[in-house]
Amino acid sequence: MYRILSQNEHFLVLAKGPGIGMHDEAGVSGLVSLVRADTGLELYPVHRLDKMTSGLLLLARTPQVNRALSMSFAQRQVSKQYLALSDCKPKKKQGWIKGDMQKGRGGSWLLTRSLDNPAISWFDSTPVREGLRLFRIKPQTGKTHQIRVAMKSIGAPILGDERYGGSPAERGYLHAWRLDFTLWDTPFAFECPPEPGSAFACPELAAAIARLAP
């Protein structure tokens, strides 16, 4: 379900597995409850990842740290990078994706052309192998399903994300890859290689990630 990648007196950094929600649902413990039970710590989620999304997750250990980090996220002072796979050809290979988010049917969201309070993401991409493309997404805002809707809007829904038109797969191939932030003048940087999943395990992926890495 998760691994602890780093911890100190202020926060824990987890590698979240796909398929587990953040919070308790229908009698099933969510990730935050599981980590609290396993560690005996009172933890506060600073941000959230969708159930299908794997990768870096930050949990604060005190309300003070939670407020400080939450403010950094709200003020766009945190750098987030995600990796996604799609088996569809995108309308463009890199650039900005901007638009307001509108509720659709069954809990889904739509990206509109208006820019009153837009979701904003930047992305670039590179081929992995025939029929599979890797995307790096840098969301500038934190709207619900933002990356998933953005990928659909460029004609490249995430592999396994059937809610937004992705081809069936054993998981949704969206991964929180890198996280950079500052807490009380101390900089932190974390990276978590994408896993699990057969498509993330393909031998060509490492070279594709290297082409996108700064």
Q: Which residues are catalytic?
A: 50
Give 42's contacts (C-beta < 8 A, 6+ positions apart): 36, 61
Instruction: Assess contact for 151 and 84: CB atoms under 8 A.
Output: yes
Q: How many CB atoms lie within 10 A of CB 119?
A: 25
Q: Which two tokens stand for residue 206?
A: 């490492």
Rounded distance between C-alpha atoms, residue 174 and residue 19, angstroms: 11
Q: Which of 45, 17, 11, 39 is nearest to 196 (CA)?
A: 17
Nearest-angstrom CA–CA distance, 109 and 191: 29
